[in-house]
Structure 1
Amino acid sequence: MDGIFGWLGDHGAHQDLIRHMRGAANPAPEGLLHEHSSQMLGVAASSRFGKADIHVENGLAATLTGRPVFLDEELAFIARDRNPATAVAHGWIRHGETLPTLMHGNFAFAVLEPLKKKACLVLDRVGAERLCYAYRGGHLVFGTSAQNASAHPAVGRVIDPQAIYDYLYFHTIPAPRSLYQGVHKLLPGQMVTLKNGQLSTAFYWQADYTPVDAGFDAHRSDFRTVLDEAVRDIDAPSTAAFLSGGTDSSTVVGALTAVRGAPVDTFSIGFDADGFDEMEYARCAAERYGSRSHEYYLKPADIVTAIPVIAREYDEPFGNDSAVPTYFCAKAAREVGFEHMLAGDGGDEIFGGNARYAKQKLFENYFRLPAAIRRGVVEPIAHLPGLSDHFPLAKLKSYVRQANMGLPLRLESYNFLHRTPLDQILAPDFIHAVDPSTADAALTEVYERTASDHYINRMMHLDLKFTLADNDLRKVGTMTEAAGIEVHYPLLDDRMVAFANHLPVDYKVRGQMLRWFFKEALRDLLPEKIINKSKHGFGLPFGVWSTQYAPLGDLVGDSLADFKQRGWIQPAYLDHMLAMQRGPYASYYGVMIWVTMMLEQWLQANEH
């Protein structure tokens, strides 16, 4: 995998430290290692795909990973003529902290100035890349991987109980927290600077949701131009595409086919399980575009194969089970010779495609009623003694309860850690070691930080961070790299994100119709069957298969038995989940069983 790491601060055995930090990741980074170290600093870049490098010149060291686009012509020339890390170094000298505003695309970089005792760490706007850091004992340590950063002797690897709670809540560990105490992660569009011994954070970019009402035809023309440019700029002969049959992947395949003027290779995953397989839609899109379609039907045995890969490849516990089909899809592409793939991630989060956007409209409409009617009529009726627990008042009572919960916390009303009292799920000592309120506070902070007062835009801004940067992009990026593929996200091109953010809200969600503008603007490109399909997702029938396929069931049982010894979750609750999974709630409880199993599997694979 490509990545960067290093430090600023006095350290004697600096060459040994470079090797130690590189070897700390599990698995150790592959590819060419570029490195430089001195008494006061160390920088290194491991480059398997050719997108990471370093540059040292005149007392300044820069290291970068990613595929940045430099908007400054001189810097763009330096990046082409030499390498992007050199362009970062020169750009820093010329522009200082405004440099990242002159860069688009996916990137993470660090600039160190030891004589001035200054440093700067930067992450791209959508969080396609990753960057961790720690500041301990006068040392600023950084790394693409939390494992790299925590390996520095000034930092260390002490697991943060709050990170474990966050993982159980979110099924990943959202930035800025990491698994290890003292190690933090940059947020999308964020910059960390060190000056005069003081560390500070700031956003060099924030999503701008100011609506531009230019009319449908003008917006459609701009959209199709940006889509064409975004796909054209990242196309290469060795590029294939994911094709799930959803709106986003079908759009990317259609646009890529149009750009090339020739059929493209697509890779799709199917499931031989009721309610999970969407291959008919992938075939519909492939037929429409004349794609060379490659299909693979996932089997329960494949999950058993993938679990240790997932545990090994992620630098922190990761609980999104669709990492499994992502890995096998990318693996199939690599096996026939492809090196790059286009993915459709991001379309839902910038164009209004997630079902919760429409659902929350129903709750927000409650507040259009005058307060006197809500409190004096509706709510007393919803709580009538002896009747409120029976249909239809039970439905009204639930509606009122959820509406009054408010956004964004209402989005988590079905979270496992909210549905059951915590003292029935978590061990007492673990509860005392964490603050459960911080998870909801993290959601509220991002929601309220949105540069818009409209709840639809605020939910989309929340999803840019928690659904994309913390989850889906980590899922896809890590699994494709594990398979030997470099992934690209044309729908998250900076120009596309800016365009979508400026659309009026009712162009995103019109009534109960999701991504209205996107679908209307692509009616000539997308098959009608795909435009009209209901939102599904890339789910995995793990809950069902783990009760039907003995080797998978045994792995689940052994993992949870080992996990009981950790002292974090009540053994009785783990047994309860397993019992409920054997009944009609296999899929529902399968989610938390997967999350818990992968936590145990990750800990076993990464405990040093």
Structure 2
Amino acid sequence: MCGFVAVMAQQPGGPVPAPYTLQGMTDAIRHRGPDAEGHWRDDAAGIALGHRRLSILDLSEAGAQPMHSACGRFVIAFNGEIYNHPALRADLDHAGDAPDWRGQSDTETLLALVAARGLVDSLRACHGMFALALWDREARTLHLARDRMGEKPLYYGAIGGTWAAASELHGLRALPGCPTGTDPAAVAAYLARGYVPDGMSIHAGIAKLPPGRVLTLRAGTDPGTETSEDFVTLAARGMAAPAMADAAARSRNLEDVLHHAIQDQMIADVPLGCFLSGGIDSSLVAALMQTGRATPVETFSVGFTDARFDETPHAAAVARHLGTAHTEFRLDETEALDVIPDLARIYDEPFADSSQIPTALLCRAARKQVTVALTGDGADEVFGGYNRHILGPKLWRLLAPLPMALRRPLGRALAGLEGAAARHAALHRLAARARMPVTLLDKLGRLGELVAKADGMPDIYAHLTRGIMDPGAFMTAPPDHAVADLRLPAALERLTGTEWLMAQDSLGYLPGDILTKVDRAAMATSLETRAPFLDPQVIAAAWALPPEDRVARGRGKVALRTILERHLPAALIDRPKQGFAVPLDRWLREGLRDWAEGLLTRSDLLDRAGLNPQMIDEAWTGHLARRNNQGQKLWTVLMLLAWLDHDATAERPA
């Protein structure tokens, strides 16, 4: 895992930044690669690349970057891992297309593959996570590319007469002329989703390259974009595959595909382990990692002293059964709150998924023992694991026949229950005894609004996922088009119900929220994370399953449960989905109150964000008075203000 920057003159003969500027750009992303750095430039061609290396495969100098192809035509700066690179290298050897290999790195394999077959075909053959900048010395073009699912970030934009790209915004901000203001459309999208989606960034003029895309830049011409392979391609391929009628055969086939992906992702020349929450996803990864191994796999979990938000007992029970070498990090509330001032630095854009707190703490702790950790990320999106995948279609079937005259008072009653839950802790204790999800009572207000207003599955999805339902109401000058519509690409437009919801999550929430959360938290401490559920063969196999293998009889991830039952007793599997929840509502009323109030009353920050002070004050006072729980809405605003405060004091080049 690494980080890189790339700068290319927009016009023929144009200059590129001086060496000390390029140095400043790579220094800004040092946390992504503390082991080594490299710079390469061709002033005559108007191109410069910089790289920071976290050494995972081939720790020798043969893996150093920027790396030149054996033929001399290509220079690459690469961030990520190509898990099937040994097989790709063997194919090149067999076809007679291999150079005289200098080392064992996947980057060298990719360069040889590009020289033999071209970039787009090479990326389609690669199973991995990556972002890259590839300079073609012959064609004088710079190619920027990102992996299928968006595991690795890539920002780009026109800055000071150049095209510039970097693994994080931190790298671009070190370039003179980088935009500093916020884009109102990005702010509105952030308020709605809790993250800035692909295709834009918090700064106008800078964007995140969408997953699966290749952007080609040539001096004096407009950029060109093409798709190498993305989620839509993989899902469509799975749906077109011949159906396997036998359920047992489908299960065994899926387990084989998963096991192969996990074994591929266990290749490393440094210590490797696995995050283990005790839930279905991470437990299955740990089980398949441990299968056939004589030595225990290192597993890690983090928990809190508040039992409602603590999954460590479940993780420990799974670890004992599997025989992993398990490490448990139990944190008191003070340790959790202490990380919050660091979040604006860790996340280079505003980011408001509050599970970023335990994620950051888990990554810090695990990095003390391993350099690589496998995760269960992606399983919920690919196999139907979110409560909305189960409840969304049911809700619409119930609501569609009801007249609005009946739905409105029902919605108000549900919202009133949230206020009661905010005032009476006993309701939370009753919910826990009933085995309800830990955050269910805190979402009754949103559910009430959904019941009263939703008109179709897009509305259901928006109500179940948005941080702030009407972001324009919180802005002093809302943009005309605040939030993109939810139409699926043509290849997936026939999807309905649960599969429609899963596709929406895979296209937006997964790269924008889940993968961003893990990448920034892990790379801030120089830890590489890998997500085997996002292997392209796993995704295609998942979408080849009939819907009932994913969601059936009120349960999600049916196929994964079936596989896991072959490795763990049912008693360790069958429990409500918890997730990485934190007691955010209470923290904002107690331990975080002074910090929150200090930000929410800063008129300079509210002005920069374009936020309406009256709306912010109403949400804050209502939350403190326990009229309702506004924790997630306030956290979304607070993470924007904290990021702006950090950005205002960050050192920038003259």
**1:267-300 deviations in whole A, cap 9, x for unaligned?**
2222233532233322321232233332222222
**Aligned counterpart, 1:91:** 113
Task: Give distance in 1, aligned partners of 2:273 and 2:38.
Answer: 29
Q: What SS is found at the alignment partner of 1:413? A: helix
Task: Give distance in 1, aligned partners of 2:276 and 2:15.
Answer: 49
2:498 to 445, 448, 456: 456
Task: Give distance in 2, aligned partners of 1:391 and 1:594.
Answer: 25
The answer to whether the Cα contact below 8 Å between 1:363 and 1:399 also exists between their aligned partners in 2 is no
> Are the structure 2 counterparts of residues 519 and 397 from structure 1 closer, same or farther at C-alpha, using a change threshold of 3 Å?
closer
**Aligned counterpart, 1:492:** 534
> Are the structure 2 counterparts of residues 451 and 31 from structure 1 closer, same or farther at C-alpha, using a change threshold of 3 Å?
farther
**1:562-596 deviations in whole A, cap 9, x for unaligned?**
2664322222322223223335467x412122222
Q: Does 1:524 align with 2:566?
A: yes
1:296 to 329, 345, 363: 329
Q: What SS is found at the alignment partner of 2:529? A: strand
Aligned pairs for 1:146-545 (under 5 A) are 146-153=169-176, 155-194=178-217, 197-205=221-229, 206-209=233-236, 210=239, 212-214=242-244, 215-235=246-266, 238-273=271-306, 275-335=308-368, 337-365=369-397, 378-379=402-403, 382-383=404-405, 405-413=455-463, 419=469, 422-423=472-473, 425-427=474-476, 430-431=477-478, 434-435=479-480, 437-441=481-485, 444-446=486-488, 450=492, 452-545=494-587
**Aligned counterpart, 1:61:** 75
The answer to whether the Cα contact below 8 Å between 2:32 and 2:53 also exists between their aligned partners in 1 is no
**Deviating more after overlay: 93-102 vs 136-145:** 136-145
> Are the structure 2 counterparts of residues 553 and 516 from structure 1 closer, same or farther at C-alpha, using a change threshold of 3 Å?
same
> Are the structure 2 counterparts of residues 328 and 103 from structure 1 closer, same or farther at C-alpha, using a change threshold of 3 Å?
same
**Aligned counterpart, 1:132:** 155
Report how far residue 138 of structure 1 moved.
6.3
> Are the structure 2 counterparts of residues 11 and 527 from structure 1 closer, same or farther at C-alpha, using a change threshold of 3 Å?
farther
Report how far residue 43 of structure 1 moved.
0.9
Task: Give distance in 2, aligned partners of 1:165 and 1:309.
Answer: 24
> Are the structure 2 counterparts of residues 426 and 85 from structure 1 closer, same or farther at C-alpha, using a change threshold of 3 Å?
same
Q: Does 1:582 align with 2:604?
A: no
Coordinate RMSD, CA, aligned: 3.3
**1:449-488 deviations in whole A, cap 9, x for unaligned?**
6365334333222212322211111211221222332212
The answer to whether the Cα contact below 8 Å between 1:234 and 1:488 also exists between their aligned partners in 2 is yes
The answer to whether the Cα contact below 8 Å between 2:78 and 2:133 also exists between their aligned partners in 1 is yes
Report how far residue 446 of structure 1 moved.
4.5
Q: What SS is found at the alignment partner of 2:204? A: coil
Q: What SS is found at the alignment partner of 2:65? A: strand
Task: Give distance in 2, aligned partners of 1:556 and 1:418.
Answer: 18
Task: Give distance in 2, aligned partners of 1:213 and 1:472.
Answer: 30
The answer to whether the Cα contact below 8 Å between 1:311 and 1:601 also exists between their aligned partners in 2 is yes
Task: Give distance in 2, aligned partners of 1:477 and 1:49.
Answer: 16
Q: What SS is found at the alignment partner of 1:198? A: coil
**1:500-559 deviations in whole A, cap 9, x for unaligned?**
12111221112422122221232121331343212221111122133333xx32222222
Task: Give distance in 1, aligned partners of 2:261 and 2:32.
Answer: 33
Identity of aligned residues (%): 24
**1:292-351 deviations in whole A, cap 9, x for unaligned?**
33222222222332123222122212211111111222222233x222212111111111
Task: Give distance in 1, aligned partners of 2:456 and 2:576.
Answer: 26
Unmatched 5+ stretches in structure 2: 58-63, 417-443
Task: Give distance in 2, aligned partners of 1:24 and 1:263.
Answer: 37
Task: Give distance in 1, aligned partners of 2:330 and 2:412.
Answer: 44
The one-letter amino acid paired with 1:221 is R
> Are the structure 2 counterparts of residues 397 and 448 from structure 1 closer, same or farther at C-alpha, using a change threshold of 3 Å?
farther
Q: What SS is found at the alignment partner of 2:165? A: strand
> Are the structure 2 counterparts of residues 605 and 319 from structure 1 closer, same or farther at C-alpha, using a change threshold of 3 Å?
same
Report how far residue 398 of structure 1 moved.
7.5
2:21 to 17, 21, 37: 17
Q: Does 1:562 align with 2:602?
A: yes
Alignment TM-score, normalising by the size of structure 1: 0.86
Q: What SS is found at the alignment partner of 1:193? A: strand
Q: What SS is found at the alignment partner of 2:373? A: strand
Q: How many residues align?
A: 584
Task: Give distance in 1, aligned partners of 2:532 and 2:102.
Answer: 21
Report how far residue 402 of structure 1 moved.
5.3
Unmatched 5+ stretches in structure 1: none
The answer to whether the Cα contact below 8 Å between 2:141 and 2:216 also exists between their aligned partners in 1 is yes
